[in-house]
Chains A and B, each alone.
Chain A
Amino acid sequence: MDFNLSNEHKLVRKMMAEFTESVVKPITAETDRTAEYPRETIEKLFDVGIMGMCVPKEYGGAGADPLAAAIAVEELAKQCASTADILATHNGLCCDPILTYGTAEQKAKYLPMLTKGHKVGAFCLTEPNAGSDASKGQTECVLEGDHYVMNGSKIFITNGYVAEVFVVFAMTDKSKGTKGISAFIVENTFPGFSVGKHEVKMGLHGSPTAEIVFQDCIVPKENLLGKEGEGFKIAMATLDGGRIGIAAQALGIAEGALAEAINYTKGRVQFGKPISKFQNTQFTLADMELGCEAGRLLIYQAALKKAAGQRYTKDAAMAKLFNSEHAMKTTTKVVQMFGGYGYTNDYPVERMMRDAKITEIYEGTSEVQRIVISANMGL
């Protein structure tokens, strides 16, 4: 058993740390303020092979493992949770299901687009009446000759208005509940595809969230991902992997906030000494450090199990639950530590606090994670 990262993993971390410092950090505050999609950053992430990094070389990727992907998200999230979200969604929720469930033809067509082709991917599951309960989905997809016709709408879709390739879940047989759900690969150019409302969110301002509308949308028959009725299984398995990404994002946010706290408390002098010298501050920071380290180990364990082909549903849920709650707790405390300054946007910690909240909600709320964990405890 080896708790050390491999040389390659260390290089991925170093590269992403340098990238984040020089490309992401200078524009993070601006991205948050304007809520503009960080297009140039994403283009550069394609250039360095991070977008689509787990896709095998033959399809234009680098063949990286889930741990490397988690490290990339973590490093980005230290400075910009929005950029990290775009990446985690692209890699974990679009590239991954196509790679895992796609036919040879689907992989050959779509994976190069999602790597060397610089096209962003997205994942469409949530609907107004089907959040945590995916079986209540209203989007339908009916086979008519050589193509399907899709009708319905999906909400809160990360990368919604910038993505060009979507993995979409729709009912092919409503009578079967979750067993009637199927997965499809949909391009934004398909007739009947449109982008609806852009969401205005509490945080993650740089992450483009939108409603996606399918109105008699024509989906070629060969774009069915997996078999009819396998959609729910694909969605759940994909979310297992996606949760590692969100866990890594949450860890990055917590680490970013902790770094800000350390820097601030060392410089801020009250009662004649830096506040980092007060034991109260030190104990608080020690707890934060402890949470980050524990959270990191949960993530690495889930990622290594995924890489080894072992079952990791519970591990991913624990990693996500622990890290997201820790990120929320940490950012809230750090804002407190900064006092009045922390509440202004002169410092990045209020943004981190707003960004952290979503990690407790999306890709399965904390409540859902507890359901998943307890369901795997033989209760």
Chain B
Amino acid sequence: MAYDSRDIASFKNVWVYCEQRQGKMMPTSYELLSEGRKLANELNVELCGILLGDNIEELAQDLGKYGADKVYVYDSPFLKNYTTEGYTKIICEAVQEFKPEIMIFGASNIGRDLAPRCAARLHTGLCADCTHLDIDMPTYKDFLREASTLTEERISGLGVIKLFGEEHDINMDMKMTRPAFGGNLMASIVCPRFRPSMATVRPGVMKKVVLDTPHDCEIIHPAFELSEADFQTEVLEVVKAARKLVDLIGADYIVSVGRGISKDVEGGIKLAEELADVLGGVVGSSRAVVDAGWLSADHQVGQTGKTVHPKVYVALGISGAIQHQAGMKESGTIIAVNKNETAPIFEIADYGIVGDLFKVTPLLIDSIKKIKEED
């Protein structure tokens, strides 16, 4: 029977695209497997990983720890480096063969290159850069009660979506929630008429959970064919950045600087580094700082930068535009230092100090040092 993305009933199981680069698994893959496990449990189906690369057998073995029931492995020298056309071909053929109902990708540069291409070829919907996924309707409604300003009446009325005179029950559909319009608005998207329901998920948003008990995981090697003729691009080289990029996503403490450092850029960054050192964290920044070239792009927190949720986020001289808030407002504790008492950052800060960061930061460093020494 021909593949038909509208034949909803013929699709089953949750798939996670497990991205590896140069034989190393991207940490997001584990986050997605943990999230995928939750979705698969709610649907009472299997969680499967799909892994493409060259010599990657070992990586596959590891995925069971994060809840995968099966891993589909496509191992070939042709797949050593990521290419849009090679990877799209394999994934689309796999989807057509095994028909997963849900497929999630990490929203990395590669995930966001690959997923839309696959969705277009498979004629299905894709929701980009999701920050929250749900199947179970009551859980989703609870999420809305907490995370939205929607009225109870609107929330409890959700369950059916009417399209062109036809009603679609979306109780068991994946509800994909994501920021839109620069984080000013959140939207929940569904894909009720096509399968698989596809999503890319922001790295760092989902929590990685290692299972306590060993989990049986079957490794499958489906047949596939690839030849030179399948490739239109040639990878000349893959270069890892020589400079160590800041790991904002994994950090428990982040000290970010904003435009407020402009009167002494070097001094301001140095203070942030000192405070980060005392806390055992790293330095982040607002977009303005990166745009001005004061710090490299890997430091940027916010809508166009990284989403972080450290234990403590210290904002030094950051006014707190909505775009910046989009990347850090989920932080455990937010501390803001700003000269301007009306800065929006104070609206979301747990603790605010109105003052010059160049005066306050050295004092704060001393105070924290003192407390730590007392311990």
Q: Please, which residues of chain B bring their CB within 8 A of the CB of A269? A: 341-342
Residue A128, interface by CB 8 Å: no
Within 8 A of B (CB), among A61-90: none
Residue B83, interface by CB 8 Å: no
4 contacts between A and B (CB under 8 A): A267-B340, A267-B342, A269-B341, A269-B342
Q: Please, which residues of chain A bring their CB within 8 A of the CB of B340? A: 267
Report the separation of the CA atoms of residues A258 and B342 in the bound assembly, to the nearest whole angstrom: 21
Which 4 A/B pairs are nearest by Cβ-Cβ distance? A267-B342, A267-B340, A269-B342, A269-B341
A243-280 Cβ-contact flags toward B at 8 Å (1 or 0): 00000000000000000000000010100000000000
Closest CB in chain B relative to A174 CB, distance in Å: 57
Report the separation of the CA atoms of residues A23 and B340 in the bound assembly, to the nearest whole angstrom: 26
Report the separation of the CA atoms of residues A267 and B341 in the bound assembly, to the nearest whole angstrom: 9
- Minimal Cβ-Cβ distance residue in A for B343: A267
Closest CB in chain B relative to A224 CB, distance in Å: 51
Q: Please, which residues of chain A bring their CB within 8 A of the CB of B342? A: 267, 269
Closest CB in chain B relative to A201 CB, distance in Å: 26
- Minimal Cβ-Cβ distance residue in A for B340: A267
Report the separation of the CA atoms of residues A237 and B342 in the bound assembly, to the nearest whole angstrom: 52
Q: Please, which residues of chain B bring their CB within 8 A of the CB of A267? A: 340, 342
Report the separation of the CA atoms of residues A74 and B85 in the bound assembly, to the nearest whole angstrom: 53
- Minimal Cβ-Cβ distance residue in B for A267: B342
Q: Which interface class (under 10, 10 to 19, 20 to 34, 35 or more) fits A?
A: under 10
Taking beta carbons and an 8 Å cutoff, which residues of A are in contact with B? 267, 269
- Minimal Cβ-Cβ distance residue in B for A346: B263
Report the separation of the CA atoms of residues A267 and B340 in the bound assembly, to the nearest whole angstrom: 9
- Minimal Cβ-Cβ distance residue in B for A26: B292
Closest CB in chain B relative to A275 CB, distance in Å: 13
Report the separation of the CA atoms of residues A267 and B342 in the bound assembly, to the nearest whole angstrom: 7
Q: Please, which residues of chain A bring their CB within 8 A of the CB of B341? A: 269
- Minimal Cβ-Cβ distance residue in A for B263: A346
- Minimal Cβ-Cβ distance residue in A for B342: A267
Report the separation of the CA atoms of residues A267 and B339 in the bound assembly, to the nearest whole angstrom: 12
Report the separation of the CA atoms of residues A64 and B342 in the bound assembly, to the nearest whole angstrom: 44
Closest CB in chain A relative to B317 CB, distance in Å: 15
Report the separation of the CA atoms of residues A269 and B342 in the bound assembly, to the nearest whole angstrom: 9
Report the separation of the CA atoms of residues A37 and B27 in the bound assembly, to the nearest whole angstrom: 52
Report the separation of the CA atoms of residues A267 and B338 in the bound assembly, to the nearest whole angstrom: 14
Closest CB in chain B relative to A355 CB, distance in Å: 23
Within 8 A of A (CB), among B331-348: 340-342
Report the separation of the CA atoms of residues A269 and B354 in the bound assembly, to the nearest whole angstrom: 14
Closest CB in chain B relative to A271 CB, distance in Å: 15
Report the separation of the CA atoms of residues A269 and B341 in the bound assembly, to the nearest whole angstrom: 10
Closest CB in chain A relative to B177 CB, distance in Å: 35
Closest CB in chain B relative to A318 CB, distance in Å: 42
Report the separation of the CA atoms of residues A231 and B292 in the bound assembly, to the nearest whole angstrom: 50
Closest CB in chain B relative to A30 CB, distance in Å: 12
Closest CB in chain A relative to B320 CB, distance in Å: 15
Closest CB in chain A relative to B347 CB, distance in Å: 15
Report the separation of the CA atoms of residues A343 and B264 in the bound assembly, to the nearest whole angstrom: 22
Closest CB in chain A relative to B1 CB, distance in Å: 57
Closest CB in chain B relative to A346 CB, distance in Å: 10
Closest CB in chain A relative to B340 CB, distance in Å: 7
Within 8 A of A (CB), among B312-342: 340-342
Closest CB in chain A relative to B334 CB, distance in Å: 22
Report the separation of the CA atoms of residues A318 and B340 in the bound assembly, to the nearest whole angstrom: 42
Closest CB in chain A relative to B305 CB, distance in Å: 21
Closest CB in chain B relative to A49 CB, distance in Å: 27
Closest CB in chain A relative to B270 CB, distance in Å: 23
Closest CB in chain B relative to A177 CB, distance in Å: 57
Closest CB in chain B relative to A341 CB, distance in Å: 12
Closest CB in chain A relative to B355 CB, distance in Å: 16
Report the separation of the CA atoms of residues A269 and B343 in the bound assembly, to the nearest whole angstrom: 13
Closest CB in chain A relative to B7 CB, distance in Å: 52
Report the separation of the CA atoms of residues A269 and B340 in the bound assembly, to the nearest whole angstrom: 11
B336-373 Cβ-contact flags toward A at 8 Å (1 or 0): 00001110000000000000000000000000000000
Closest CB in chain B relative to A340 CB, distance in Å: 16
- Minimal Cβ-Cβ distance residue in A for B292: A26
Report the separation of the CA atoms of residues A178 and B342 in the bound assembly, to the nearest whole angstrom: 62
Report the separation of the CA atoms of residues A215 and B341 in the bound assembly, to the nearest whole angstrom: 62
- Minimal Cβ-Cβ distance residue in A for B341: A269
Closest CB in chain A relative to B161 CB, distance in Å: 42
Closest CB in chain A relative to B357 CB, distance in Å: 16
B155-184 Cβ-contact flags toward A at 8 Å (1 or 0): 000000000000000000000000000000
Closest CB in chain B relative to A309 CB, distance in Å: 47
- Minimal Cβ-Cβ distance residue in B for A274: B342
Closest CB in chain A relative to B179 CB, distance in Å: 27
Closest CB in chain B relative to A272 CB, distance in Å: 13
Report the separation of the CA atoms of residues A209 and B342 in the bound assembly, to the nearest whole angstrom: 42
